[in-house]
Amino acid sequence: MPRTSPGPDEPTSPPAWRVLVVGGASGMGKTGVARALARRYDVPVVEVDDIVEALLAVTRPEHLPEVHFWRTHPEAARWAPEAVTERQIAVAEALAPAVEAVVANHVGTDTPVVLEGDYLLPPAVTPGGPVRGLFLHEDDEAQVTANYLHREPEAGPQRHRARVSVLYGRWLAARARAAGVPVLAPRPWTDLAERAGRRLGETVA
């Protein structure tokens, strides 16, 4: 019986890359895809949120004001979506050196990993090099609101948060496309991991 190509959750040959970036705004389905791809390639997942927490634990606001911004300015979450998006971008840019250090460590030590998070930026990816990746983007605010409601029903409809997510996601997607990094629509959810694997297969295999 002929062997078929491995599915998104099945082990495959060792990846050609050393870091696989899964980026995009909140509520887009990154975590599920990252975990599925990690299973596919039998590598661990590193979440950028963990990097943020580590930096918050060992620095003070005066050292890294942008990284500490959401803790020092909790009221900012209620600002206009456009203003919140600008702060989100500023935080991502402030975190870029820390992300670069993690990426360089995995490339230098030849240790493959899937890196996932809202604050990942397209310049972290080197198409055709050791750092590959994709970004997820859902442009329908109603759908992102529904995603949050499904994930966090106790919070009720989070329309403001969904608006911010779409605006930030558009910014990320535009820069990813300009850099030649794949951008995927999350829907349909049922085959998202499979589509992601195929798209990466086009650039990784």
- In 3-state terms, what secondary structure has residue 56? helix
The pLDDT of residue 5: 42
Tokens coding 28: 């887009």
For residue 50, what are its two tokens? 């963990």
Domains of the chain: 19-204 (3.40.50.300)
Residue 103: which H helix or E strand, with range? helix 81-108
Q: Which pLDDT value is given to residue 13?
A: 65
Given this model, what pLDDT does residue 35 score? 94
As separate numbers, helices (DSSP H) first and strands (DSSP E) second, the chain gives: 7, 5
Rounded (5°) CA angle 175-23-89? 55
Quote the radius of gyration of the chain (alpha carbons, Å): 17
DSSP 72-92: H-GGGGGS-HHHHHHHHHHHH
Place of tokens 């909790």: 74
Report d(CA 186, CA 33) in Å as an integer. Answer: 9
Tell how strand 19-24 and strand 45-47 pair up.
unpaired
Would you give per-residue pLDDT tens digits along the chain (205 residues)? 333 344 544 545 678 899 999 999 999 999 999 999 999 899 999 999 999 999 999 999 999 999 999 999 999 999 999 999 999 999 999 999 999 999 999 999 999 999 999 999 999 998 889 999 999 999 999 999 999 999 999 999 999 999 999 999 999 999 999 999 999 999 998 898 889 888 887 443 3
Query: Long-range contacts: 159-163, Cβ < 8 Å, 24+?
Result: 160/78, 160/81, 161/26, 161/27, 162/27, 163/81
Q: Which tokens sit at 171?
A: 């910014």
Q: What are phi and psi of 21, to 5 degrees?
A: -90, 130
How many CA atoms within 13 Å lie on the side-chain side of 23? 30
DSSP type of residue 131: E
Q: What pTM value is reported for the model?
A: 0.90
